[in-house]
């Protein structure tokens, strides 16, 4: 046998080498997993589609897969948002009235399918601009009336809208002995006339003597406005608490813009 020779250089530490053993037999298969839950169901009773923005409780085979705020669609078709889930076999749905949906009061029969849907991507807008002779404010709240075109806007369809408005006010040889309050507001003038919620703005005039210059560009919005009507008329109403003792305070430019954000 040949003579052994020392390592050069010698190892400082003992080295361990792991050598794998023979592979063992395969283990037993694990238990089957639990079946996943269906993300759909069917209705178990007839229901009538409500007006846009109104809700209805719908009986279903299973509501466990739904969450509040989810958008779903039923046969019809009809799109809804889940308002609440009373129990495992019913759901409260708020009608969205998307383009192509069935009309309110339509009957949806037992056995109709219910499955997830999504947000409508359709955007609609409407606008109105003032033109012509300016409007001189009075101490009585009244709709802006311009010489040629007044800024009156008709909402063209039911749904939820974001409404923006602005009015430019000018002093024209005006005298104010004290600061007076100017109020600008959005008002629906038909289908039960009323001021729009959060649609009012106010500002104080300067104390001036026979001066002419732009006072302010007063902006209202965005105002969230929901309607079931297709012809609501929105106007801008203005007034000043005390009219100037000389000259006028005039609305010289005005506009309203509305953008539909949901059906």
SS (H, E, C) 23-35: CCCCCCCCCCCCC
Measured in whole angstroms, how far is the alpha carbon of residue 184 from the centre of its chain? 24
- 11 is a domain residue: no
- 128 is a domain residue: yes
Same domain, 157 and 245: yes
Domain finish residue from 70, 97, 116: 116
Same domain, 142 and 186: yes
Residues 6 or more apart in contact with residue 252 via CB below 8 angstroms: 134, 168, 169, 170
pTM to 2 decimal places: 0.56
- 15 is a domain residue: no
Same domain, 215 and 111: no
CA atoms within 13 A on the CB side of 136: 9
If one counts the domains in the chain, the total is: 2
Same domain, 66 and 165: no
Q: What is the pLDDT along the chain (263 residues), one digit of tens a residue?
A: 455 555 555 556 667 777 888 888 888 888 887 776 778 999 999 999 999 889 999 999 999 999 999 999 999 999 999 999 999 999 999 998 887 899 999 999 999 999 998 876 556 778 999 888 999 999 999 999 998 788 999 998 888 999 999 999 999 999 999 999 999 999 999 999 999 999 999 999 999 999 999 999 999 988 999 999 989 999 999 999 999 999 999 999 999 999 887 76
Using alpha carbons, list the distances in angstroms from residue 67 to 34, 70, 91, 215: 21, 6, 10, 51
Same domain, 109 and 135: no
Same domain, 68 and 101: yes
Same domain, 62 and 45: yes
Domain finish residue from 116, 145, 168: 116
Burial environment of residue 160 by CB neighbours within 10 A (0 to 12, 13 to 18, 19 or more)? middle
- pLDDT of 4: 54
Same domain, 88 and 218: no
Same domain, 179 and 57: no
86 lies in which domain range? 41-116
- pLDDT of 97: 86
Nearest to 226 by CA among 182, 173, 188, 174: 188
Same domain, 158 and 59: no
Assign residue 171 the CATH number of its domain: 2.60.120.40
- pLDDT of 263: 67
- pLDDT of 261: 79
- In three-state secondary structure terms, 257 is strand
Q: Where are the beta strands (DSSP E) in the chain?
A: 41-42, 47-48, 55-59, 71-74, 78-87, 90-95, 107-108, 113-116, 124-129, 135-136, 142-143, 153-154, 159-176, 181-188, 194-204, 208-227, 233-240, 246-262
- 35 is a domain residue: no
Q: Compute φ and ψ for 121, nearest 5 degrees.
A: -100, -5
Same domain, 211 and 164: yes
- pLDDT of 12: 62
Same domain, 52 and 172: no
DSSP string, 193-244: -EEEEEEEEEEE---EEEEEEEEEEEEEEEEEEEES-S--EEEEEEEESS--
Domain finish residue from 99, 116, 133: 116
- pLDDT of 47: 96
Assign residue 80 the CATH number of its domain: 2.40.30
- 1 is a domain residue: no
């Amino acid at each position: 046998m040949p003579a052994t020779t020392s390592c050069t250089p010698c190892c400082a530490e003992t080295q361990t080498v792991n050598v794998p053993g023979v592979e063992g037999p395969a283990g037993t298969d694990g238990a089957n997993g639990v079946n996943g839950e269906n993300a759909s169901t069917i209705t178990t009773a007839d229901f009538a589609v409500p007006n846009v923005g109104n809700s209805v409780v719908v009986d279903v085979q299973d509501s466990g897969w739904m969450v509040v705020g989810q958008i779903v669609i039923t046969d019809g078709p009809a799109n809804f948002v889940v308002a609440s889930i009373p129990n495992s076999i019913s759901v409260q749905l708020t009608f969205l009235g998307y383009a192509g949906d069935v009309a309110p009061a339509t009957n949806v029969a037992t056995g109709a399918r219910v499955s997830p849907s999504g947000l409508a991507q359709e955007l609609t807008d409407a606008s109105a601009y003032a033109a012509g002779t300016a409007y001189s404010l009075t101490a009585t709240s009244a709709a802006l009336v311009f010489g040629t075109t007044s800024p009156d806007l008709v909402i063209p369809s039911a749904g939820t809208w974001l409404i923006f408005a602005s009015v430019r006010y000018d002093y024209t040889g005006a005298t104010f002995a004290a600061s007076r309050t100017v109020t600008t507001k959005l008002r629906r003038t038909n289908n039960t006339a009323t001021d729009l919620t959060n649609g009012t703005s106010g500002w104080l005039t300067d104390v001036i003597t026979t001066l002419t210059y732009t006072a302010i560009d007063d902006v209202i919005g965005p105002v969230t406005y929901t309607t079931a009507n297709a012809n609501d008329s929105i106007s801008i109403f203005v007034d000043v608490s005390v009219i100037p003792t000389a000259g006028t305070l005039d609305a010289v430019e005005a506009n309203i813009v509305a953008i539909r954000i949901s059906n």
